[in-house]
């Protein structure tokens, strides 16, 4: 006789109980993650993702944060709103970083730029983990907004990349001018043809023959070469 929580149970009754329990477990649906495997879900907002229960709140928050950072990093910029709407339909004004060309141009410094805005975020439970990407109003090349893992921070990787690029520039006290080049000590001579046609006396001849007024007049009439 078998016992269960202090009660004596016959062996055949205990076996039947085990079988019924196994059958009941088989009828219970698998976790949501198994149902979402290899499926792509679209969410317009982060709250919609959280309330769906398909993904965890942490995964939803990371997916939308990475999508915003990816859109800000890779989306093209346009100076005119009409041009942006022509390519992406949905656009919004953004504060673009000023470049060297912008600072030298005659355009107003506070002139806004325009970039495409996202309809929402696509999230997929891939075999290697949950990944997400921004979704625009038009079809975009997959390489433009590739799926990015929610387990990593897209913003942090951008900052790390910027730090690595800045670290490649040596500090001012570490520069060694021409450290790998041997100094040139040979004599350099220029042919007259390289300097253009030279007419009239030159060099010591002019100092001995022309007056101060003649020299001033010669320099005044000389061609200007920027």
pLDDT band for position 18 (cuts 50, 70, 90)? very low
CA atoms within 13 A on the CB side of 78: 18
Give kind and range of the element (H or E) at residue 92.
Answer: strand 91-94
Quick one: tokens of 65? 């944060």
3-state secondary structure of 195: helix
What are the tens digits of pLDDT across the range 68-78? 999 999 999 99
Q: What percent of the chain has pLDDT over 90?
A: 33
| Cα–Cα distance measured from residue 23 to residue 12, given in angstroms and rounded to the nearest whole number | 17
What are the tens digits of pLDDT across the range 98-128? 544 444 455 555 678 999 999 999 999 988 8
- More confidently predicted of 5 and 128: 128
What number is the average pLDDT over the span 160-188? Answer: 63
């Amino acid at each position: 006789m078998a016992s269960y929580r202090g009660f004596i149970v016959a062996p055949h009754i205990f076996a039947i109980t085990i079988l019924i329990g196994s059958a009941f477990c088989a009828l219970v649906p698998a976790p949501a993650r198994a149902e979402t495997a290899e499926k792509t879900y679209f969410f317009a907002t982060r709250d919609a993702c959280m309330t769906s229960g398909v993904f965890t709140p942490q995964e939803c928050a990371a997916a939308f944060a990475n999508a915003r950072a990816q859109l800000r990093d890779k989306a093209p910029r346009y100076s005119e709103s009409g041009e942006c709407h022509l390519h992406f339909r949905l656009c919004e004004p953004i504060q673009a970083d000023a470049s060297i060309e912008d600072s030298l141009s005659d355009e107003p410094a506070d002139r806004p730029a325009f970039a495409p805005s996202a309809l929402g975020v696509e999230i997929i439970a891939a075999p290697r983990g949950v990944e997400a990407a921004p979704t625009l109003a038009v079809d975009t090349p997959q390489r433009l907004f590739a799926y990015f893992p929610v387990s990593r921070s897209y913003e942090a990787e951008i900052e790390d990349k910027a730090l690595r690029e800045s670290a490649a520039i040596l500090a001012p006290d570490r520069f060694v001018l021409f450290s790998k080049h041997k100094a040139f000590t040979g004599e350099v001579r220029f042919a007259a043809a390289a300097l253009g046609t030279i007419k009239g006396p030159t060099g010591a001849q002019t100092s001995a023959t022309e007056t101060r007024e003649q020299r001033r007049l010669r320099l005044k009439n000389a061609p200007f070469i920027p």
